[in-house]
Structure formats: structure tokens, C-alpha cells
Amino acid sequence: MMDLQGFGHLLVSGAWMTIQLALTSLAIGLVIGVLGASAKLSASPVLRGLATTYTTVVRGIPELLLVLTLYFGGAQILMWAAGLFGYEEYIEVGAFAAGVAALAIAFGAYSTEVFRMAMLEVPVGQREAAEAMGMSRSQTFFRIIFPQVWRFAIPGLGNLFQVLLKDTALVSVIGLNEIMRQASVGSAATKHPFDFYLAAAVLYLALTLLATATTEVLERMSKPELRSKRA
């Protein structure tokens, strides 16, 4: 039986921080993934080269190294960029911002490939038919292409989100009070590390099961045959 000795509230607050970190990183990472996939399928060799370089570099770097680099080097990068516009005050990068940036960049690199494969699944004839009807490129993408891309991409994105959810533990090394950080604080205060890390494992498992169930619901909602039956 786990005995958290009154420190259970630390894990609850850590779980809430983990959820915020994961969802914020997911939202930004999805945007990066769509843009990256569009660039990889672009007719422009420059955009294709940039997107390929991004995915190759990011997928070849451990997420922990990315977290540390953005946390300790992010302030220098921002101050350099701000200095170009005459701003000379010190800019501090918080643990949450650095964690979100690192996880979103990593998620975006992997989701780029998921979106790219999903876009290739959409028949070219549908794009040509939309253009023949007078739709602009943006209208074709958001009305014809993207709804189908989303349906093809959901399973892969669901798997990536589960990985992202567990990778939030890496942000504990820079002091963000998520699940692992709070488990470490509680175990140090009570001298019962097994209880706290076991409780942390249960929380991660619960969040992963919730993410799996949500993915399954989204998959069912995205299938046109199921929507037609409900209608």
C-alpha cells in the first residue's frame, strides 16, 4: 500500500502541470507538423531542403539534450535576436517555456512525417477536381485535403502523443514541477522513494490510458461510414 504521508497533493499538482505541458506542446507541434509536411511536399527545393534538414537534425538529437539546450541557450538566442531590433534588456526563458519549445519541436519533427504520409494518401484527383471548380489553394486544403489528412493521421499522431506524454518527465531536469519532479521532492522529504515513484508510474499509466481512449474516439468520429450510420 502506498503511503505518501500527506504529500499526495504534490503529485496532483504535478499531474496538472504535466497535462498543461503535454497539451501545449501538442498544439504547437501539430502546427509545426502540418507546415513541415507541406514544405516537404512543396514544389520549392528550398522548402523541401529546409524541412528535410529540420526533421533529420531533430530526430537525431535526444529530447533531453534539446530540453537542456533550449533552457540554457534559449535566453542567449532570444537576446541576440532582440538585439537586432535594439532591445538590450535581459530575457529569461522559464522552465515551462523551454520544455514546451523542446517537446513541440521534437513532436513536430515526427508528426511532419505522419502528416506527409497522410497527405500522400489523398487522391490527386480530388485536388484537381477542387481546382477545376474554382477553389483556391487554401480552400482546397482546408475543405478537401485536410479533413481527409486528419483521418489518416490520427492513429500515428495518437502514438506520438503517448510518447510526448512520457517525455514530459525529461523537463524535470530543469526544475519544472511536473510529475517526476514532484515525486522526487516527495521521496526526498519522506525517505519513501518507492511509494512516490510507484504513484508517479500509476499517474503516467492513467494519463496514457486516457490518451489512448481519446485517440480511439477520434478515430471512430473521423470515419465517414460511422458518421453516416449515426446520421
| DSSP string over 130-151 | HHHTT--HHHHIIIIIHHHHHH
Task: Quote the DSSP letter at residue 167.
Answer: H
Q: Which residues, given as ranges, of the chain have pLDDT below 70?
A: 1-3, 224-231
What integer pLDDT is reported at residue 136 of this predicted model?
Answer: 80
Q: Measure Cα distances from 176 to 25, 157, 169, 181 in Å.
A: 15, 25, 9, 7
What integer pLDDT is reported at residue 159 of this predicted model?
Answer: 95
pLDDT in tens, 50-85: 999 999 999 999 999 999 999 998 888 888 888 888
What integer pLDDT is reported at residue 32 of this predicted model?
Answer: 97
Give the separation between CA 73 and CA 211, rounded to whole angstroms: 32
The pTM for the full model equals: 0.88
Say how many C-beta atoms besides its own lie within 10 A of residue 231's C-beta. Answer: 5
Q: Please check whether residue 160 is in contact with residue 33, taking contact to mean a CB–CB distance below 8 angstroms.
A: no
pLDDT in tens, 98-117: 999 999 999 999 999 999 99
Residue 35 corresponds to which cell in the numbers above? 507546415
Q: Which residues of 135-169 are buried (b: 16+ CB within 10 A; e: fewer)?
A: beeeebbeebbbebbbbbbbbbbbebbbebbebbb
What integer pLDDT is reported at residue 225 of this predicted model?
Answer: 54
Question: Which has the closest alpha carbon to 58: 108, 8, 93, 17?
Answer: 108
Domain-wise residue ranges, the chain: 15-179
**Look-up: residue for cell 510529475?**
179
Q: Please check whether residue 111 is in contact with residue 161, taking contact to mean a CB–CB distance below 8 angstroms.
A: no
Q: Which residues contact 140 (CB under 8 A, 6 or more apart)?
A: 127, 130, 131
What integer pLDDT is reported at residue 193 of this predicted model?
Answer: 87
Q: Does domain 15-179 have CATH number 1.10.150.120?
A: no
Query: For the chain, first and last CA: distance in Å?
Result: 49
Give the separation between CA 71 and CA 73, rounded to whole angstroms: 6
